[in-house]
Structures are given as structure tokens and as C-alpha cells.
Structure 1
């Protein structure tokens, strides 16, 4: 059994940014119910966040509906985890289609939605804090994507040290809750132990 947790996590992030979240019930996998939910949300909310339904599967209806009836500005980003996000307009209301995995949805919010809220809505919100840290464990990077691995930062006399939890699955909520940083490994950048890298503080 899969428990719905993303709406609670995303609502917490919206509050963290200083805004008021409106949680909607889970929408069944049909174009009709999704259309009704988006119509309702576009009439009462400034921005719509969805979770799941944006990849290439048979039941990824958010992407299908946006392509057929909405206005898609882009789909997919070169980041790991969280590569299939979507952004567009539904009835002139900005819509972010986030991945369905809990870690991916959180990461995409921090990298995509949070900057949008700061700059497009003209609100201050909490600012991101990037620090330099030394990897104490090797972190797997990618050749063509920005790699955002969950890490634990610990201050030392030498500087900030970064340790990687063993389980990095995108469905592992505990690894996100226990981490206090995300690696900002650029495409092709080494993630070998001993390397100094940029880290986004959570």
C-alpha cells in the first residue's frame, strides 16, 4: 500500500516560503476528474502544484492534459533526482507538475518552485544558503545532469564535512528528513571523497 504524503510535505514547504497552502483530495486517474480539479484550483489559487502524473506512463494524465488543453512552457529538466517536472499555465494560472516520488517532489520544489515564488510574486521568503563542504563519502554524479544527493553536514575546524546516507532512493522520505544539505554537483563534476563541492543547505 502506498500512502499519500506529498501534499503534506509540499504544504509545509509552501508555509516555509510564507504562503498559504490549499490541499486538495487525491485525484483519481482519469482526465475528467483531473480537469475538474484543475478548474477548481485555477479559480481559487494563485499557483497550482501537482505531484505525480508528469512522466511518460500510461496514467501520467497531468502531462497529457496540459499538452492537450493547457499551455506547457517546458517539460523535463536535467537534474537528478526529479528530471520530469513540468511548468505551464492552466487557465492563465501557473502550474508546476512535480514528480510523484517524495524526495523528487521536495527537490524540484527547492530548485524550481521556491525561486519562482521569490521572484515572480515579489516576496522575500527564506533565502537559499549555499556553502562549501568536503565530501567524506563518494557521491555518484552524472555526466549530463545537476546531481542533488542528500547529505549530512557537520562543521569541523577544517571546514564543513559532508556525509552521504547509504539509501538514496527517491521514495525514501526518512533520508530527506534526516539530511541537512543537497549536493550541487555540476554535470560531469567529480563526487569522489575528499572533493570540495557546493552544497545547498536544507
Structure 2
């Protein structure tokens, strides 16, 4: 942490911006009606005894909205990739044609959509908590500067107001990202 007001606010803003990026990234991993590469980021494959991310072992192609073709770089890893995909929470059963794996994502049921909305809300709340945690740390730094008489109380109060405005801005961004994801999930 910096030891001056602009530095503290700048640190807080950069951490809040990173929180927004992480939250949006987590949203992109939540499945919607269309297949996308982010859905596969959390999938690891047991490759020669080492957990390896799927994107390092195979290429992904999306010929249709709900169809994915997984082409392993190493054909010997095909069965390990197939079992990792089957065990994932995507709800897919890969079809192995020898050269690649074909996945057809099942249509989202209303119940499954509601589960995904709930998951998105939980991830949004995690984002809000992280933003508020950053605010708390910055506020402590500002209070310490006032207590150590490095800045005046008026300046400290102004800095806390700026910090609150910053916090509000980033929490609104989390809420906007959540609203967009809920709309995306509701679209059939």
C-alpha cells in the first residue's frame, strides 16, 4: 500500500478493476445456450499422471451453437480427455470417432437455467465482497494516515468519500455484469 492518498486510491482502484475482470471471467465459464471456450477452462485431464488443462492437450472448435469438436494434439491422450469431459459438470457424453471427440451440449432446462442464475449470483456476491474488502483495506490506510497526523481529518474525510464513490462504481459494474449474464441465461 502507498502512504499517500492518491496512491492508496490508485491501488484500491486497480484491485477493484482486477476483481471485475475475475468476476467477468467466472461468469464466462457459466454455461449458456451457446458453447464457448471459457466453459472448458476449469477442466483438467490426467495426462501421464499430471493434471493438465484441457486447452494444453487439445484444440476446440465450435461448428454449431451447441456442438464442440475436441481434437487432441496427442492421440494417446484421447481416452483421458474423454473421461475428463464425461466427469466434468458440463453434462456431456463425448462421441469418439478415433481422430477427435464430438460433444453435443444438451439444451438447458428451465431448472438448469435457474441453477446457473443462482451460481452467477453467488459469483457476483463474491465479486462485491472482494470490492468491499479492498475498500476496507484502503479505508484502514487512510485512517492510519489521519491517526499518524500525516494528513488532516478533512483530507481523510474527502479521501474516504472518494473511496466510497469508487466502491459504488465497481459494485455497479458487478451488478451490470450479473444482469447481462442473467439475460444471457434467460435467452432460449
User: Normalising by the residue count of structure 2, what TM-score does the alignment of the two structures yield?
Assistant: 0.24
User: Normalising by the residue count of structure 1, what TM-score does the alignment of the two structures yield?
Assistant: 0.22
Higher relative contact order (CA 8 A, sep 6+): 2
Which structure: greater strand fraction?
1
Q: Which is greater in Rg?
A: 2
